[in-house]
Amino acid sequence: MTDADRGTRPSRLRELSRSLVLTELARSGALSQADLVRSTGLSRATVASIVTDLRAEGRLAARVGAEPARRGRPPALLQLQAGPDTVIGVDFGHTHLTVAVADLDGRIQAERHEPMDVHHAAERSLDRAAEVIADLLAEMDPAVPPVMVGVGVPGPIELDPSHPNGTFPGRVCAGTVLPSWTGFDPAAEMAKRTGLRVIAENDANLGALGEHRFGAGRGVDNVVYVKVSSGIGTGLILGGGLYRGSRGAAGEIGHVQVREDGALCRCGSRGCLETVASADAALALLTPAHGRPMTAEDLFALEAAHDPGVLRLLTDMGTAIGRVIAVVVANLDPNMVIVGGSMARDALVDSVGVAIRRFNQPYVATDMTLARAALDERSSLMGAIALAIEAVATA
Ligand SMILES: [Zn+2]
């Protein structure tokens, strides 16, 4: 039964408070009522009343928390009722496409992974993703169509100022490293192809969301997630939510110049961080040393064999990234820095941590935790699912 059915049209304030509670639950998975009071800033009475309504509507489930309280019984943890609804996550990587169907708790029900060159025309990549979604759904219960699709693309997406709340991502930014995607609205294009509701986001932002909701950053309010793969970028969780900046370009550190006379970059500048610290840069540097074109698998095999050249390369890359992240850390004072993406190898992650501490005042990074992405290369996929779940929960 809705509030309108009861003849008590809720005030705007009440709607906002309810949306705040739903957002916190969608982001955190399971929270006690006291946690909700803390994280929303709402009064204890308001939270209690909203929780009572949501439980009456069957939208909340309660379970006993694992952590014992200081005295007495552990507090009940509240979580959104998963129900039969499902969402889809789509992750366009530079070299792959992954599509997964999940329930509203983020449990994967079906998944497809296939190689794909994202530099293909955007039309072709989106067509293929729509085909994979159709194939997956054909194998599932047709009575339960997914309620939302979250799509990640490896480039910044401009915020859409025409959207009612002004914060929804729209078109892929001009001047990105994906020329054929520039000006494309991935959400609108996928919606056209699938007939489903779609929301799109930059892949590093999704990596941050995925790690925050399901991975190393669970329950951490301020997280800097660094994705090091074919390119490099960061996703920022500030105050428990994704920070996109004024235009959607927050965290685009890949084209910060780190070497004045460095190599020319595909963005048109030179000496960008991406030219010294990305999978593409690493392979370009290894190729002449080995006299043959090198692949990521070659690099990982050499790393496993403790090849000194590869370990040196990963350490140098981590140091270059850490120098830039040191500035981010000095500005944002995060609780945690998470390094993810295909190049989050031990030597690289360790040297990111060393550089963050070396290039900051000691107190800046004293209480900061450095972690490797718990979801490995699935951070962005799980972020696309988290984005879709949050959009459903707050709709
Ligand atoms: Zn560049």
Written as tens digits, the pLDDT of the chain (395 aa) is 444 444 445 577 888 888 888 888 777 778 888 988 998 899 999 999 998 888 888 778 777 666 554 566 677 888 877 667 899 999 998 788 999 999 888 888 889 999 887 666 888 889 999 999 998 888 776 656 788 999 998 888 887 666 554 455 677 776 555 677 888 888 999 999 999 999 999 999 999 999 999 999 999 999 999 999 988 999 999 999 999 988 888 998 999 999 999 999 888 899 999 999 999 999 999 999 899 999 999 999 999 999 999 999 999 999 999 999 999 999 999 999 999 999 999 999 999 999 999 999 888 888 899 999 999 889 999 999 999 998 887 76
How many CB atoms lie under 10 A from the CB of residue 282? 23
Centre of ligand 1 from the C-alpha of residue 351, in Å: 22
Dihedral of alpha carbons 82, 211, 282, 268, sign: positive
Containing 352, the helix (H) or strand (E) segment is helix 346-358
Centre of ligand 1 from the C-alpha of residue 265, in Å: 5
Query: What is the radius of gyration, based on Cα positions, of the chain?
Result: 22
Q: Which domains does the chain have, with CATH numbers?
A: 12-80 (1.10.10.10), 86-208+379-393 (3.30.420.40), 219-374 (3.30.420.40)
98 strand-pairing partners: 91, 113
Centre of ligand 1 from the C-alpha of residue 312, in Å: 23
CB-based contacts of 385, cutoff 8 Å, min separation 6: 87, 88, 89, 100, 102, 106, 150, 210
Q: Report the distance separating Cα 15 and Cα 254, nearest Å.
A: 39
Centre of ligand 1 from the C-alpha of residue 153, in Å: 18
Q: What single-letter amino acid sits at 5? A: D
